[in-house]
Structure 1
């Protein structure tokens, strides 16, 4: 056997042998070691064969690739990410996608300095979520959420029965059966545009006339039964805007009783005409004519040189004073006023425009000007069955101070304001207005800012009662359309007016 030495012999590809007897496999290894170098200094990776392309990367390669991506993102975050990352560099993992969304939301504001974002870990918050967010120029910061204890005003336990439902200030959530005129009336009463017992009762009856005129009896139904249900929806909306007055309650009970007496076989047009005519007669007899009779009777008790003290605003008291002035009597009027509505201001202006000598004073100075008074004329929101006067808060103070000075107190009240209820104090029955209205309604003071102060004080509770109760012993006489009578005769007049 002959061995052939290939020293210094050229290979078929033109390369020389190394002279050590290596085979073709070792020559291929040398070719790979002499592979060209890439521009970045790394060796160029040779193109993989088809078999190698089909092979899946090993776990070590995947780990190395993920580590390289994390290092690249960490380097971008340190540089501030001046430019948004390319789509190819975005990770397909859910947590990386969420992190990139947060980066893009912060980069969308040109005024924000680059913030260093940290990866979210279980049980720990990111540093970017704890850093306060800067605002753009002209952008207002959203108000912080109020604690649960400050969203609703605190309630006092001993008057918890007076809170009820919050007062409605819009038509949102109202029933579809409510008439548009009821919407307007409810909002006007809620905003004190229509204020006063007589004004509210008169407006309610006139609006009910429109509701009855627009009413259509459904098929297979009778007018007396369905109209009462239809009016109940209107009444519920008015109650949500503001509690009904005593006169409104009496008028509504009378109207429902009148509707129930209509014969079901009566044609609809004739029944509606009869109801509208009955409402007109009720307004004329129980409000208009009754007010004229009271004004005529009370004005006869005013003499020349009298100093009449009145409180807040009462339409029947204004009519009485105007009637006495037209009779040529010379007297003076002192109008006392107090919060929350300051109604006496309008009353003083109206009397001064007639030509009367009027003095307007706050109730705080009552002890000074009441000493010159000869008579006290008071209006009424209602007269209780035990002879007590239910009227605007502050009335009891005026009446009790006049009684101490032996000044006669005369109450001018229509019989429609009489009720069979009995009250011993101002807590059992009263109207509770929103606390932020205390002292700011109709005064021109910045109501919005004052309301914020009320709501922001967690240790401050506002109590805004609308009425008080005057004892019967402080009332000298009650003048009604039935004549002048003592407070003890109120139940008799109330039964007489109800039967009539």
Structure 2
């Protein structure tokens, strides 16, 4: 029974780990919904105590770079612990958890909408915007700008591994003119670009941006060409643990060699990081639901959110509370 309940979360974690879900927003919404379903299926608190931490850890391990995933699952876990302190009625607990899932999901969408609207104000009529990977909030920002009558074009690299850029280009082509190119040509095309818009997996306390691999090269080239670089990230993507000195672990995957390189299989190792780190000095502004902020102001926002000194409850401490509450 326990294994059956864990299966769905495990399948989702595997899908995320293999990069089959492109958007960090989609990853988080899928994950919290999965946990909501898991809690609904549990028939006793002892089973809940055993499987809940396993499922949550597995989902976090699948996308360790995602601050939004960690922050959302931490919030969900706090709700579970608080609910168990008040009642052992699993139906009531399930109701509270799934209400929290809907609340988190609505908050994510509302904040993304605000970020997108603010970002769209930076787009001028006739602009060429370079984007990277696939992002729901960047798509929304471009959609808003077009709905306001602004004419613009979009440049986008393939965004390997995963080729999310191809998927994004197909979607954007329904709205405006799109130019798709190989990742290595970004410096060649930057001379035609007015602004760069990217999303974020996480924003560190020093203002550094963790995002799809290739983002840091784009930022470096944009800096060289004096093209403004903007990261669109709600404050829920800020990684508070980095304030306390923790590092964000970057995922990497094994690569299958292309046909012309198959003869090298077994002789060489082929890997690719999924994410990289862009230094704050290459970022002109981070666009949040609170407005545009300089990367150097991230630490101030973290202080506003978590107090001073910052009180950042770790997920593991919440798991310990869960064990203690159930007994």
TM-score, normalised on structure 1?
0.56
Cα distance, 1:193 vs structure 2: 2.5
Q: 1:390 aligns with which of 210, 217, 238?
A: 210
Q: Which residue in 1 is equivalent to 2:23?
A: 196
Q: Which residue in 1 is equivalent to 2:279?
A: 471
User: Retained in 1: the 8 A contact 2:160–2:183?
Assistant: no
Unaligned ranges ≥5, structure 2: 312-327
Q: 1:456 aligns with which of 243, 246, 266?
A: 266
2:311 paired with 1:490: no
The structure number with the bigger radius of gyration is 1
* Structure possessing the higher relative contact order (Cα contacts under 8 Å, 6 or more residues apart): 2
Q: Which residue in 2 is equivalent to 1:84?
A: none
Q: Which residue in 1 is equivalent to 2:142?
A: 321
User: Retained in 2: the 8 A contact 1:306–1:332?
Assistant: yes
Aligned ranges for residues 37-76 of structure 1 at < 5 Å?
none
Q: Which residue in 2 is equivalent to 1:281?
A: 103
Larger strand share, 1 or 2:
2
User: Retained in 2: the 8 A contact 1:299–1:320?
Assistant: yes
Aligned ranges for residues 422-437 of structure 1 at < 5 Å?
422=242, 429-434=249-254, 436-437=255-256
Whole-angstrom distance in 2 between the partners of 1:241 and 1:398? 25
User: Retained in 2: the 8 A contact 1:178–1:233?
Assistant: no
Q: Which residue in 1 is equivalent to 2:152?
A: 331
Whole-angstrom distance in 2 between the partners of 1:428 and 1:415? 17
Structure 1 residues 348 and 265: CA distance shift in structure 2, 3 A: closer
Q: Which residue in 1 is equivalent to 2:180?
A: 360
Whole-angstrom distance in 2 between the partners of 1:377 and 1:369? 15
User: Retained in 2: the 8 A contact 1:312–1:336?
Assistant: yes
Whole-angstrom distance in 1 between the partners of 2:232 and 2:191? 22
Q: 1:299 aligns with which of 120, 130, 136?
A: 120
Cα distance, 1:466 vs structure 2: 1.3
User: Retained in 2: the 8 A contact 1:262–1:271?
Assistant: yes
Whole-angstrom distance in 2 between the partners of 1:480 and 1:180? 36
Aligned ranges for residues 11-90 of structure 1 at < 5 Å?
none
Secondary structure of 1:312 counterpart = coil
Structure 1 residues 398 and 357: CA distance shift in structure 2, 3 A: same
User: Retained in 2: the 8 A contact 1:307–1:334?
Assistant: yes
Cα distance, 1:184 vs structure 2: 3.1
Secondary structure of 1:410 counterpart = strand
Per-residue displacement from partner, 1:305-327 (whole Å, max 9, x unpaired)?
11111112222111111111111
Cα distance, 1:429 vs structure 2: 2.8
Q: Which residue in 2 is equivalent to 1:416?
A: 236
User: Retained in 2: the 8 A contact 1:433–1:464?
Assistant: yes
Q: Which residue in 2 is equivalent to 1:309?
A: 130
Q: Which residue in 2 is equivalent to 1:269?
A: 91
Q: What count of residue pairs does the alignment treat as equivalent? A: 304
Structure 1 residues 416 and 406: CA distance shift in structure 2, 3 A: same
Aligned ranges for residues 131-280 of structure 1 at < 5 Å?
176=3, 178-218=5-45, 227-238=48-59, 243=64, 245-262=66-83, 264-266=85-87, 267-280=89-102
Cα distance, 1:181 vs structure 2: 2.2
User: Retained in 1: the 8 A contact 2:5–2:42?
Assistant: no
User: Retained in 1: the 8 A contact 2:233–2:288?
Assistant: yes
Larger helix share, 1 or 2:
2
Whole-angstrom distance in 1 between the partners of 2:126 and 2:63? 41
